[in-house]
Amino acid sequence: MSERFVAIQVGAVSFVDEGVPRVLDVFQEQGRVNALFLATPTWTRGTGGRQLPNQPLPDHGVQAHDLEWVGGNYATVHPQYYGGTTLGPAGRAPEHPDFDLFAAVIPEARRRDMRSIAWIEESSYAAELRRYPNFPKCLEVDAWGRPTTRFCFNNPDYRTWHLSVVEDYAKSYDLDGIAWCSERPGPLNLLMQGPAQPDQVSCFCPHCQSLARDRGIDIRRAKEGYQKAIEWNARVSAGDRPRDGAFVSFWRLLLQYPELLAWQALWTDSQHQIYRDIYGLARACKPELQVGWHVYHNISFSPFYRADQDYAELSRYSDFLKVVIYNNCAGPRFHAWVANICKSLFADVEPADAYPLLLKLLQLDEAPYAELPTAGFSPEYVRRETERAVAGVDRRTKIYSGIDIDIPTGPHDTKCTREGVKQAVLAAFAGGAQGVVLSRKYSEMWLDHLAGAGDALRELGD
């Protein structure tokens, strides 16, 4: 087996539709894949189900959209591991009720010398999770004391439930690793990077307030500061510019309420604490298990989110980091991100004016702003971001670069090609990556484009 780690993200539906041996044959023949990120549990279309309903189906799998897809846990749930939480062993997916993703795939993968990693998607935004009994009692709370739609990392039931899933998987299956995903940027970041709804800016639940007291944070002033920041965001997003400008007026709020930054730090530390908990628990259950995190695309777009995600610190409780470096869809995504921040923190300038500054801040060099949706980002972006991550972890943690294949974008935006995938994979390894993860999910990839990864590996001599 190649020393280079070449993984692909894949959900249960692909194995049900096409058969386990057939799918693994395709992975090995087309992409030179030697590891699987098996998506469970997941309640989001980005990792679960077939192709998005409004997108063309690729050239494999069942040629019909699964419009009633719900998502959940595609492995057998073992109730004995879910004690200590009111949430219990909830979450078994209604699709394919007799199919156990791990039981069906891991033995065949092992015979082929392919590693199997549980790809756990927190899915904090998913409405389905809020339908489960007792889950609504774990929601974050906004600055006015109202429950929101997402779950709090500091709620002991929610935390214990996720740890229960990890223990169940670690003890019940012959897995090689756990990859956990949480795509959330924190309350202050949300207010800075674009228009935000009040229920997105949280959490002020009793558990978070208790932690804040331990840190000496004035809770009353933190709530008051966030209420004013939410009002600032609504005013600026609606086009009402303060006399001193959006940026100056926001900075004034930070000076008046340093609790804004303190609460953002508390929120981020809470997110990272669940990483630490998962890492320690998984390794306690199975010391050889490799445990790592999905670092989502905001790491390339937001200097504020990048500041939160310190690679050196993450490396202290990570065996690997799967860093999203999706160059193809980065163009339209960053184009939209810049437009949004120019409705908030950078509302004093036009997107085309803010864009060069953001490139400098993020150490990027890409196409002109107007061309981004059709140009995408370059393979050089993949190399640079990989190199930055490798330097950041200082050899303590493996870096697996996330490479996008056919992630849906707008109808007139950049499109994936076989050669583009090849160049992105080559760039990742040129940047020092120990591996790549072909993303987001096999059920939206075209086979010829997947073969671009195989082309790259053959060129490298693997």
Q: What is the pLDDT of residues 21-71, one digit of tens each?
A: 999 999 999 999 999 999 999 999 999 999 999 999 999 999 999 999 999
pLDDT confidence of residue 361? 97
pLDDT confidence of residue 3? 82
128-144 confidence digits (pLDDT tens)? 999 999 999 999 999 99
Can you tell me the mean pLDDT for 296-303?
A: 98
Confirm whether 371 is domain-assigned: yes
Confirm whether 233 is domain-assigned: no
Q: Is residue 85 predicted with pLDDT exceeding 90?
A: yes
Residue 127: exposure state from Cβ atoms within 10 A (0-12, 13-18, ≥19): exposed
Q: How many domains does the chain have?
A: 1
Cα(136)–Cα(158) distance, integer angstroms: 10
**What percent of the chain is modeled with pLDDT above 90?**
98
The amino acid sitting at 231 is E
Q: How far is CA 332 from CA 35, 261, 326, 381, 417, in A?
A: 29, 30, 11, 15, 16
Q: Among residues 54, 41, 139, 51, which one has the least CA distance to residue 94?
A: 41
Q: Among residues 148, 140, 27, which one has the least CA distance to residue 441?
A: 27
Confidence of residue 118 (pLDDT cuts 50, 70, 90): very high
Q: Among residues 424, 418, 419, which one has the least CA distance to residue 401?
A: 424
Q: Is residue 413 predicted with pLDDT exceeding 50?
A: yes
Confirm whether 206 is domain-assigned: no
pLDDT confidence of residue 341? 98
Confirm whether 335 is domain-assigned: yes
pLDDT confidence of residue 462? 81
Average pLDDT, the chain: 97
Q: Is residue 1 predicted with pLDDT exceeding 80?
A: no
Confirm whether 253 is domain-assigned: no
Confirm whether 142 is domain-assigned: no
Q: Is the dihedral of CA 282, 286, 287, 291 positive or negative?
A: negative
Confirm whether 279 is domain-assigned: no
Q: Is residue 434 predicted with pLDDT exceeding 80?
A: yes
Cα(454)–Cα(462) distance, integer angstroms: 9
Confirm whether 198 is domain-assigned: no
Cα(85)–Cα(97) distance, integer angstroms: 24
13-23 confidence digits (pLDDT tens)? 999 999 999 99
pLDDT confidence of residue 94? 97
Residue 96 domain boundaries: 5-123+152-182+285-459
Confidence of residue 373 (pLDDT cuts 50, 70, 90): very high
pLDDT confidence of residue 2? 60
* CATH code at position 391: 3.20.20.80
Q: Is residue 425 predicted with pLDDT exceeding 80?
A: yes
Confidence of residue 338 (pLDDT cuts 50, 70, 90): very high
